[in-house]
Homo-oligomer: A and B are copies of this chain.
Amino acid sequence: MIHALNIAHVANSAVAVLHGAEIDALRSLHPSDIAETLEESGCSPSQIVEVLVQIGNHTASDAFGQLNIETQQACLEASNAQTMLRFVENMEPDDRVDLLKAVDEDVREAIMPLIAQAERNDIRRLWKYEEGTAGAVMTTEYAVLPQGITVANALEQMRLQAPNKETIYSIHITDAQRHLLGIVSLRDLIMSKPRATLETIMETRVISVPHDMAEEEVAAIIAKYDLLAVPVLDRENRLLGIITVDDVIDIMEAENTEDFQRISAMVPFEEEYFKRPLPRLFWSRFLWLAVLLFTSLISTTIMEMNSAVIHQMVALAFFIPLVTGTCGNAGTQSATMVVRALALGEIGPGDVFRVFRRELFMGLALGGSLGLMAYFRVFLQDHSMILGWTVGAALLATLLTANLTGALMPLLLKKLNLDPALTAGPFIATVIDAVGITLYFQIAILLMRVIQ
């Protein structure tokens, strides 16, 4: 199995001319592999279009559909509407709308009149759904049949519908107004008696989603019920489209990348690593780091306010990284656990009390044992009881706070309808630094007073 070809030489020549053998080799690849080859070849958008035109037939259209949306956009903007028409017409309806939304208005206005009337209406219908909802990721190319016909007749109709449908494995039974009555899988159709009618074999307890459901929730439903596709309905139970499992995998990957980026305090990016434009990446990272820098100045201010205590016992300053570092880590642990459990639906905002009890206990156990370890380390080296008790007690108090903050903050955000992943990671760590240093000095001052 060949997975990619090297066609870098195309990128270096003025016109994209490939030998007949090269075109044949490209044509024999899977459309996903053709797309990957083109993306990595370094070809300009217009060269990519030239190669696709030379490949011709359905393979070229499928390969175009597998390109990144940024590359598709560049191709569309670099070539004339007439050349691009075939590629755009053969795209999946939801991807096509995303692309047409992305391109310059004049490019859109050049190609829209060329698109067939029925397709154009489809584009207008899909245009209105908000990004990130079921309506925006669904396809309108679903298999549909009336309920009165027989299984034999249904199989005959599927033979006709198949070429234009994204999947014929879920067949939707609707009335004349497109109200969804039931679903028949192609498997059930194959297994049923040819003379049975669809209404007798269809599954009427259909798992469906409303058009305004968030795409992550749709993904969770498909994952939970092991579905190949789920129908999308409007408020009157009319069938608008379907979402297939391969789209759900893409949604899951995008969603996970977003969570990872949030955890590491970055504005989420959709492009691949090497494709992210450096200036935009700089700002996305700089902004967060600057915010966190100013947050960490709180710690500095607290230390400045306590400079008298530090002058009295400079060694106090030495153990600050130990206390803040360890507690930041513990807070990140509990935050990550809760963010992930929320994402997988294992816990909800209603579980606040159970989470609190669990993390209170865990914070006491971890803080107590790590505090004890720190006490002995300090005492063995510095032979100062005050310093040892200060470090140990501060570690316990801060770790407990950090653990609870880390666990409860995502639940709070979830209740406020914000993304819980926003809290995990550096932000929590920086807040915990400030809390930790404050507690540290308060405990030190208290102990100095008690002992002296």
Contact = CB atoms under 8 A, between A and B. Distances in A.
Interface of A: 1, 28, 30, 32, 155, 158-159, 162-163, 167-169, 186-187, 190-191, 205, 207, 222-226, 228, 245-246, 248-250, 252-253, 256-257, 259-261, 263-266, 272-274, 278, 281-282, 285-286, 288-290, 292-293, 296-297, 299-300, 303-304, 307, 310-311, 314-315, 317-322, 324-326, 328-330, 332-333, 335-341, 344, 346-347, 351, 354, 358, 361-362, 365-366, 369-370, 373-374, 377, 424-426, 429-430, 433, 437
A333 B430 contact: no
Contacts of A252: 249, 252-253
A297 to B, nearest CB: 6
A273 B346 CA distance: 7
A394 to B, nearest CB: 13
A399 B49 CA distance: 42
Given A163-B191, A252-B249, A274-B347, A322 B297 contact: yes
Nearest to A395: B293
B282 A365 contact: yes
A303 B329 contact: no
What secondary structure prevails in chain A residues at the interface with B? helix
Nearest to A282: B365
Contact of A344 (B158, B257, B266, B377): B257
Contacts of A324: 321
Given A263-B336, A286-B369, A303-B317, 14 more contacts: A30-B225, A169-B187, A226-B246, A261-B336, A264-B335, A281-B362, A292-B326, A297-B377, A300-B322, A303-B318, A304-B318, A307-B315, A321-B433, A328-B426
Specify which of A292, A300, A335, A369 lies most central, judged by the most chain B CB atoms within 10 Å of its CB.
A300
A250 B191 CA distance: 28
A347 B191 contact: no
A158 B424 CA distance: 50
A174 to B, nearest CB: 18
Contact of A373 (B169, B293, B425): B293
Contact of A336 (B168, B264, B314, B430): B264
Nearest to A247: B226
A341 B362 CA distance: 33
Nearest to A186: B186
A273 B347 contact: yes
Contact of A228 (B30, B228, B354, B369): B228
Contacts of A341: 272-273
Contacts of A205: 1, 28, 30
Nearest to A354: B274
